[in-house]
């Protein structure tokens, strides 16, 4: 068999990204037998239509995975992150999720998640240099 060409593409198109994601998902579903997967997406939008934050992830294998949670700087400290995370956790629990997991960095929102009942189960030092990456979980 001929060796396939190795191509560097730092910004692949949506179709190529979806092809790779589908390959990983198909393999994972075949290996685990857990086919129930549901995307999570809750967003904040003001009346003029400006997007001000969001929480994305998925529910799979009785877990909520929070991929991203972001709130515009002018709304931070006003409970908007809590609204988003509460909505995602409720959504997941309604679909049978018993736990949640996420990752954050020392320069991001570690204190926010700890106050919300998440606990650190792992961390990487110097990722990136001078900072730490935390892996957290919570029982819903």
Range of the domain at 110: 35-139
pTM of the model: 0.89
Which pLDDT value is given to residue 66? 98
Q: What percent of the chain has pLDDT over 90?
A: 94
| 8 in a structural domain | no
Burial pattern 20-39, b for ≥16 Cβ within 10 A else e, equals eeeeeeeeeeeeeeeeeeee
110 occurs within a structural domain: yes
Per residue in 12-71, pLDDT (tens digit) is 999 999 999 999 989 998 999 998 889 999 999 999 999 999 999 999 999 999 999 999
Residue 16 lies in a domain: no
Q: Would the pLDDT of 81 be above 90? A: yes
**Is position 13 within any domain?**
no
Q: What is the CATH number of the domain that holds 106?
A: 3.40.630.30
The verdict on residue 87 lying in a domain is yes
């Amino acid at each position: 068999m001929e060796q396939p060409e190795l191509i560097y593409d730092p910004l692949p198109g949506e179709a190529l990204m979806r092809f790779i994601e589908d390959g990983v998902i198909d393999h994972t579903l075949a290996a685990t037998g857990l086919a129930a997967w549901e995307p999570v997406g809750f967003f904040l939008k003001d009346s003029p239509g400006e997007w001000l934050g969001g929480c994305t992830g998925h529910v799979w294998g009785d877990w909520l995975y929070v991929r991203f949670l972001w709130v515009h700087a002018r709304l931070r400290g006003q409970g908007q992150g809590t609204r988003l995370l509460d909505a995602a956790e409720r959504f997941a629990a309604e679909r049978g999720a018993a736990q949640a997991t996420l990752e954050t960095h020392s320069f991001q929102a570690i204190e926010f998640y700890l106050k919300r009942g998440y606990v650190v189960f792992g961390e990487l030092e110097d990722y990136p240099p001078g900072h730490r990456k935390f892996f957290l979980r919570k029982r819903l």
